[in-house]
Amino acid sequence: MIIDSLTHILPTEVSSNLEKYKKIDLLFNELFDENTNVITEDDLIINMKKYNINKSVIAGFGWKDPGLAQLINDYLIEASKKYQGSLIPLCSLDINSKFSEEELLKCISKGIKGIGELHIEYNSLLEKNFIFKNILNIALENNLPVLIHGSEPLGHRYNGKGTNDPKKLYELVQNHPDNKFIFSHFGGGLVFYEHMPEVKKVLKNVFYDSSAQPFLYHKNIYRNAINSSSINKILFATDFPLIDMKRCLSETDYLNIEEKSHIFSHNPISAYNL
């Protein structure tokens, strides 16, 4: 079985009115432009079948507008019902909105499997943000993973890269060691610091997804990440439609059967409690 641990879909209402939502939500404005690929759940399923992907995690982006967050969450939940068993919905939230806790609890009651993707810039101020801390507490109480965008401190710029680098992600885990986290893009390189025993111990509840790997890293990162961290903590993810599924899958051809079994199936099942 192959599980794609991170994809993004949007309802036609949003994709047909990109300029409207770019004005409403600051993060949406940063991530989307006239060249951005936007797909629906039907498009995603067609591509999954084409490349023999059995399940896909569908996520939002950590919107800055609570109304857009609710709209997308409802859409993801309905899409998962439409293709029951094939699409795994997450719940994305505005961490500064007073409505986010209520929204999260609603989404949990409807079967979401995690929180994310959150685009945050972690710092000491977030530890004073009671909404963000309550979101993490609710996630912990319900054994939900929190998917957070990781930023590479080096390399080329891209829409939404941000500055949520490995040091910030590490500090987040230090302050919330019992939460289960999934850091996208190999945690911006955080995975390699697990060669340090004290760092590996702190990051015991952290998974890393490979979203947008061909756009960011050489394919050897899979083997290197497994050797740095654990065969049990790396998740295959495309970030589709940003990156073509076929291209992402081809980058894993050199891995052995055991490695593929873990990153494609065992690890996402563990991370998302499937």
Q: What is the mean pLDDT of the chain?
A: 93
Q: What percent of the chain has pLDDT over 90?
A: 78
For residue 194, which amino acid is it? E
Q: Return the pLDDT at 220.
A: 98
Q: Which residue has the higher pLDDT, 9 or 160?
A: 9
pLDDT tens string 5-41:
999 999 988 888 888 877 877 777 777 777 778 899 9
Residue 77's alpha-carbon distances to 68, 89, 264, in angstroms, are 14, 6, 23
Rounded CA Rg of the chain? 17
Q: Return the pLDDT at 138.
A: 98
Spatial CB neighbours of 74, under 8 Å, sequence gap ≥ 6: none
pLDDT tens string 52-107:
999 999 998 878 888 989 999 999 999 999 998 899 999 999 999 999 999 999 99
Per-residue pLDDT band at 3 (split at 50, 70, 90): very high
Spatial CB neighbours of 37, under 8 Å, sequence gap ≥ 6: 241, 242
Q: Return the pLDDT at 162.
A: 76
Token readout for 111 is: 């079967």
pLDDT tens string 171-222:
999 999 999 999 999 999 999 999 999 999 999 999 999 999 999 999 999 9
- Residue 110: Cβ within 10 Å count: 16
C-alpha 4/C-alpha 112 separation (Å) is 16
Q: Return the pLDDT at 234.
A: 98
Domains with residue ranges and CATH for the chain? 3-271 (3.20.20.140)
Find the angle CA(245)-CA(250)-CA(256) to the nearest 5 degrees. Answer: 125
Q: What 3-state class would DSSP assign to 219?
A: coil
